[in-house]
Amino acid sequence: MINSFYFVAAYILILFLLSAFLIRKALNSFEEYGYCGRSLSIGFVFFTYLGTWIGGGTIIGLVSRSYDFGASQYWIIAMSCVAELFFALFFIGKIRRLGLKSVTDFFALRYPGHREAVRIPAVAALLIRNVTMVAMQFAALSYLVTFVFGINRNLALLLVFLVIISYTVLSGLWGVAVTDIFQGLLQTAGLVMLVIISLRFAGGMKAVTSFYNAQGNLENLSLFATDMSWYEILLYIIAFGLFFLMNDQTNWERIYASKGSKTAKWGFMIPLVVTMIMLVMITYLGVFQRAIFNGTAESASIIYNFIFNLADSKWMIPILVALIAAIMSSADSFLLASGVMISEDIIKRFIIRDAGDKEMIFFARVFVVVTGAIAFAFAINIEDILYLWLTGIGMTSIILVPGYFLGWFSKHTSTRGAMAGMIVGALYVFAMGLGFIKAGPLQVCVGMALNLAVSFCFARSKLRISFDRE
């Protein structure tokens, strides 16, 4: 364990050095701090996407699910990738032509009433997604720290919070992009290594097949075997798949930061295909682990169990560092996106309209810390990692997805309609957060339908409300 500590400490030191090296590049220009001066090449774009999409929460959560329920759990995460392919094909070119920096920019362009007040609920909704994503990574890394060093989980969460926040605020998107190259290479190599070693310890594919055959669960080896009905599958696609046709603020940030439209499009699609392949590997990690442990180990910590109790010591440390890389490279992107978004859409638009670059950078850093603190609180109180992921997507979708699609495809919507629908959606989400409404796929679909109905009613009504200037 002492060797593990030194390697982890050395890895964290490298991240800080890389971020510190880029401070001057992003210190005086908010465009450089938040968007790399719109000069990201395809190499930077590729690795920063890969580092963001394959997070520790994804790895730990998906392995746990496939360990318990089989390889078909792949689609819980992979359906987002399928939706993102359509996003790339139909929306990235339009986003670039319009020069949009963010989801909130699109809402403000389409619904400009009352000095673009639509930005406020849009920012609030996106923060739900960002906070839950960061909380996932905090929770995943805290499990690792607790498992390795035997310290209290809350203390482990605090240490994780301090480390990730500290290097993220230093040099903005430049720091995130450069460290993601380093971390993306580590996590990819580590995952491949972990799959090979796991299959070897399971006795090979024949032994794995024999194990599941003896258990009467041979269908657990198939990506497409599921006992879900078509109705349930459709609910999941609507509730959690439509969000990715709008996508995360982190992705819009990189689309804008790319130096050209081809870089933005292909820099998105190529790592997306790689991500889908890597998700297959992650899924079968859980399948192999069940064969190794004969289904007797606890699924939440199964990867850590394997690394520290079975794997050869020469493989343990690089795999450990790879897992940490996956976690950190995802958390930093969502933290930075939150800080930049609040600075531009709230501080600059409504509070300090003449804020300069240094002020904007200061506020971005402040809200990176604030977002991390909220995520810290979420991670302490909610331990189910994939529940966090689905909850964040569902709540954000209820508030934003109907207005997003109406904005692109309907000529009959309006600021008052969109705002009314978003407010009703936010109230629905608030009731869901208090436990009055169950957080499930059916309830998410009902919330989006309610938002859509209210949007249409107010858009077509002659009733004027205070935030409409059309």
Local structure of residue 218 (DSSP, 8 states): G
The b-or-e profile of 140-149 (16+ CB within 10 A means b, else e) is bbbbbbbbbe
Only one residue has tokens 């409504």, namely 350
- Position 62: which residue type? L
Give the amino acid at 338: S
As a whole number of angstroms, the distance between CA 113 and CA 239 comes to 28
Contact partners, residue 407, CB within 8 Å, separation at least 6: 106, 107, 110, 111, 413, 418
Q: How many CB atoms lie within 10 A of CB 374?
A: 18
Q: For residue 226, what are its two tokens?
A: 């599921």
Q: How far is CA 323 from CA 164, 189, 272, 318, 435, in A?
A: 14, 10, 19, 9, 33
Spatial CA neighbour of 136 closest among 250, 74, 46, 54? 54
- Per DSSP, the three-state class of 413 is coil
Tell me the sheet residues that pair with 40: 258
The verdict on pTM exceeding 0.85 is yes
Query: Which residue type is seen at 389?
Result: W
258 backbone dihedrals φ, ψ, rounded to 5°: -65, 145
Q: In which domain, by residue range, is 134 found?
A: 2-460
Long-range contacts: 160-167, Cβ < 8 Å, 24+?
161/372, 161/373, 161/375, 161/376, 163/12, 163/328, 164/137, 164/138, 164/328, 164/331, 164/332, 164/335, 164/372, 165/335, 165/368, 165/369, 165/372, 166/16, 167/12, 167/15, 167/16, 167/19, 167/332
The crossing angle, in degrees rounded to 10, of helices 302-309 and 56-69 is 100
**Is residue 424 domain-resident?**
yes
The structural domain count of the chain equals 1
The DSSP 8-state label assigned to residue 351 in this structure reads I
Instruction: Give the contacts of 404 (CB within 8 A, at least 6 positions apart).
Output: 103, 106, 107, 246
Joined together, the tokens standing for residue 268 give 């998105």
Residue 187 included in any domain: yes
Tell me, yes or no, whether 240 lies in a domain.
yes
Asked if residue 362 is part of any domain, the answer here is yes
469 domain residue, yes or no: no
Crossing angle for the helix pair 415-433 and 119-149, nearest 10 degrees?
Answer: 30
- Asked if residue 453 belongs to a domain, the reply is yes
Radius of gyration of the chain (CA): 22
- Domain-embedded: residue 468: no
Q: Residue 379 belongs to a domain with what CATH number? A: 1.20.1730.10
Give residue 116's Cα distance to chain centre: 26
pLDDT in tens, the chain (470 residues): 556 667 777 877 888 887 777 777 767 789 999 998 899 999 999 998 988 888 776 888 899 999 999 999 999 889 999 999 999 999 999 999 999 999 999 999 999 988 899 999 999 999 999 998 888 888 777 777 777 777 777 787 788 788 888 888 888 888 888 888 888 888 888 888 889 999 999 999 999 999 999 999 899 999 998 877 888 889 989 998 999 999 999 999 999 999 999 999 999 999 999 999 999 999 999 999 999 999 888 887 788 788 777 656 677 777 878 878 887 788 888 999 999 999 999 999 999 999 999 999 999 999 999 999 988 888 777 666 667 778 889 999 999 999 999 999 987 778 999 999 999 999 999 999 888 998 889 999 999 999 999 998 887 644 333 333 33
Cα–Cα distance, 41 to 258 (Å, whole number): 6
Q: Is residue 470 part of a domain?
A: no
Number of H helices, E strands in the chain: 22, 0
Q: Which ranges of 151-204 does DSSP label H, i.e. alpha helix?
A: 153-201
Of 432, 418, 359, 335, give the one whose Cα is nearest residue 133. 335
